[in-house]
């Protein structure tokens, strides 16, 4: 029996065909930028919806929408551009990529298109963060001056275009030149902010009012010029890209010299480990020095705004690259075979990382800002030591969490992206736990309470009861809050121990991560049960 098959050719546009059935190369490029895209999308949604009625931290003027607009959105755009053109350096696939029989110009434009499409939803989320209060007021039926809002929206759209230009043109060139996606991300994120401060200073010096809307597009001129220049340089660099780098390239470019016997000197292994970990943090320390030098040349308002941006970036960067960069360089595993106890190696690494972040990312930037704004003279000795102690403890916990995330990643850039999301999530959870703990103490009559007025997006105020200690407003000085503080210290110690285990082991699959998340959840449940049992016993005795 014969069968007959009848086929018909359907003409489908090429763009529809590529969308429905993307090529392997397209899937690979999208998968490379996926961490940065997921980070920006999650943080943008988190900034718009859950935080519309409340700040991320009570009593702190830095809200999550402000942080996303000023810091996280430029970081996501720069990371997308750096990962699109630098993931070959992370996975060591540059040689196989350059040997493919594919036009480099086609790959260049494809990566640019993918990066642009990935940045578009982040730009919309950034505009939504700018106008979150206006949007919620409109939905609530409150009158909004639409004419004025359209003018402000136009200026905001121009501001949203700056990180996109930086991620599309500056980040690729910086990544290709330095052969480091992390360097391309950080520098391309900070450079537009510096150019904005310089252009604003020039406009003010020229007699223009920086608040006037018609002069706002003038700030984009330096960025557009740099984008054109770096775009051409990046395209030429990508066309002439070679695999030769590092010591091989240095040996190929230099003449052969007669080797001489060098005298070997015995040195302390602890000192060598300290030096090795410090040398690993050269890039963030250098960026911190450049940031502090820039603070000196800015005026007081610009110095305050600049100090809100770069210290947090330096602290996260130091913790992110401390463990992940060793794994990317391929030296993390064999260093565990050194004739030094591993717990000593890890303790030295943690101490160097924490002290570097504390000094270069917190103390020195704040000291220079206080000297710049003359605020240091207004701080008393008691307040100085109290604030210093808070910064020391906060940086210790912050570095512990970031170092734990870094121990699970194989590159510094991925660790930086994941650490930001994890730190924000942990901070939000700690605030919720603190509110629940304060409510427990307040309902049991252990601490007092006070009434505060909370401002809602529609302009109304709602009275809310907040638990406070009886003697003082500093909760860590009140003994009733010590069980909560001990639980936080135990959580940091668990993260420190698991980070040490992760850094030592070569296997870091999903199973290990799932087991450690289960360990954290079990610890939190045990700590909550112990705290509730303790206070029930305390109330029964009294």
Is residue 455 classed as helix, strand or coil in its secondary structure? strand
Quick one: pLDDT band at residue 376, thresholds 50, 70, 90? low
| Mean predicted confidence (pLDDT) in 282-292 | 89
DSSP letters for 284-345: HHHHHHHHHHHHHHS-HHHHHHHHTTHHHHHHHHHHHHHHHHHHHHT-HHHHTTSSS-HHHH
Contacts of 409 (CB under 8 A, 6+ apart): 320, 323, 324, 327, 415, 418
Question: Is pLDDT above 60 for 16?
Answer: no
Is residue 53 classed as helix, strand or coil in its secondary structure? coil
Nearest to 74 by CA among 176, 170, 147: 170
**Full-model pTM:** 0.77
Is the separation of the CB atoms in 325 and 412 below 8 Å? yes
Is the separation of the CB atoms in 395 and 357 below 8 Å? yes
Taking only the tens place, the pLDDT of each residue in 247-261 is 444 444 444 455 555
Taking only the tens place, the pLDDT of each residue in 55-98 is 433 334 345 555 666 678 888 899 999 998 888 888 778 777 77
Taking only the tens place, the pLDDT of each residue in 134-193 is 665 555 555 555 666 666 677 777 778 888 999 999 999 999 988 888 888 988 888 887
Contacts of 524 (CB under 8 A, 6+ apart): 491
Least reliable range by pLDDT among 1-15, 189-203, 293-307, 336-350: 1-15
Residue-level pLDDT at 206: 65
Least reliable range by pLDDT among 112-121, 286-295, 387-396: 387-396
Question: Is pLDDT above 80 for 451?
Answer: no
Least reliable range by pLDDT among 9-18, 145-154, 529-538: 9-18
Quick one: pLDDT band at residue 472, thresholds 50, 70, 90? very low
∠ CA 352-356-359, nearest 5°, is 135
Residue-level pLDDT at 480: 79
DSSP letters for 187-246: HHHHHHHHHHHHHHHHHHHTT--TT-GGGGGGGHHHHHHHHHHHHHHHHHHHHT--S--H
Least reliable range by pLDDT among 222-231, 333-342, 521-530: 333-342
Nearest to 496 by CA among 280, 351, 316: 351
Quick one: pLDDT band at residue 125, thresholds 50, 70, 90? confident
Is the separation of the CB atoms in 342 and 426 below 8 Å? no
Contacts of 115 (CB under 8 A, 6+ apart): 33, 80, 81, 84, 167, 168
């Amino acid at each position: 029996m014969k069968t007959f098959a009848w086929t018909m050719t359907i003409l489908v546009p090429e763009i529809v065909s590529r969308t429905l059935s993307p090529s392997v190369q397209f899937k690979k490029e999208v998968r490379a930028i996926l961490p940065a895209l997921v980070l920006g999308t999650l943080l943008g949604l988190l900034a718009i919806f859950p935080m519309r009625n409340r700040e991320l931290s009570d009593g702190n003027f830095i809200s999550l929408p402000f942080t996303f607009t000023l810091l996280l959105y430029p970081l996501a755009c720069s990371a997308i551009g750096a990962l699109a053109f630098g993931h070959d350096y992370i996975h060591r696939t540059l040689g196989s990529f350059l040997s493919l029989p594919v036009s480099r110009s086609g790959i260049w434009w494809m990566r640019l298109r993918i990066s642009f499409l990935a940045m578009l939803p982040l730009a919309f989320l950034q505009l939504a963060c700018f106008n979150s209060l206006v949007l919620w007021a409109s939905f609530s039926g409150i009158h909004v001056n639409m004419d004025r809002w359209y003018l402000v929206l136009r200026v905001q759209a121009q501001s949203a275009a700056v990180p996109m230009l930086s991620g599309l043109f500056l980040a690729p060139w910086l990544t290709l030149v330095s052969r480091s996606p992390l360097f391309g991300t950080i520098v391309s994120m900070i450079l537009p902010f510096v150019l904005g401060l310089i252009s604003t200073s020039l406009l003010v010096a020229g007699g223009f009012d920086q608040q006037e809307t018609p002069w706002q597009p003038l700030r984009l001129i330096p960025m557009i010029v740099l984008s054109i220049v770096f775009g051409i340089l990046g395209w030429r660099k990508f066309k002439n890209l070679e695999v030769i780098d590092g010591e091989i390239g240095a040996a190929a470019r230099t003449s052969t010299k007669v080797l001489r016997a060098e005298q070997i000197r015995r040195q302390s292994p602890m000192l060598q480990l300290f030096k090795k970990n410090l040398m690993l943090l050269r890039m963030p320390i250098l960026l911190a020095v450049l940031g502090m030098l820039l603070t000196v040349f800015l005026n007081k308002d610009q110095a305050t705004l600049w100090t809100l941006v770069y210290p947090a970036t330096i602290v996260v960067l130091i913790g992110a690259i401390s463990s992940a960069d060793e794994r990317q360089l391929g030296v993390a595993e064999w260093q565990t075979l050194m004739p030094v106890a591993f717990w000593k190696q890890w303790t030295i690494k943690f101490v160097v990382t924490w002290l570097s972040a504390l000094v270069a990312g917190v103390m020195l930037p704040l000291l220079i800002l206080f000297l710049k704004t003359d605020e240091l003279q207004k701080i008393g000795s008691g307040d100085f030591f109290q604030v210093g102690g808070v910064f020391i403890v906060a940086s210790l916990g912050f570095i512990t969490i970031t170092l734990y995330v870094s121990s699970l990643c194989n590159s510094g850039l991925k660790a930086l992206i994941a650490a930001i999301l994890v730190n924000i999530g942990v901070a939000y959870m700690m605030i919720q736990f603190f509110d629940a703990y304060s409510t427990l103490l307040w309902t049991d009559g252990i601490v007092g309470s006070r009434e505060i007025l909370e401002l809602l997006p529609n302009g109304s105020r709602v009275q809310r009861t907040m638990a406070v200690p009886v003697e003082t407003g500093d909760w860590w000085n009140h003994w009733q809050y010590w069980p909560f503080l001990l639980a936080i210290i135990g959580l940091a110690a668990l993260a420190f121990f698991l980070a040490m285990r992760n850094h030592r082991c070569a296997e870091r699959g999903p199973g290990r991560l799932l087991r450690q998340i289960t360990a954290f959840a079990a610890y939190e449940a045990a700590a909550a049960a112990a705290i509730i049992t303790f206070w029930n016993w305390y109330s029964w005795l009294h």
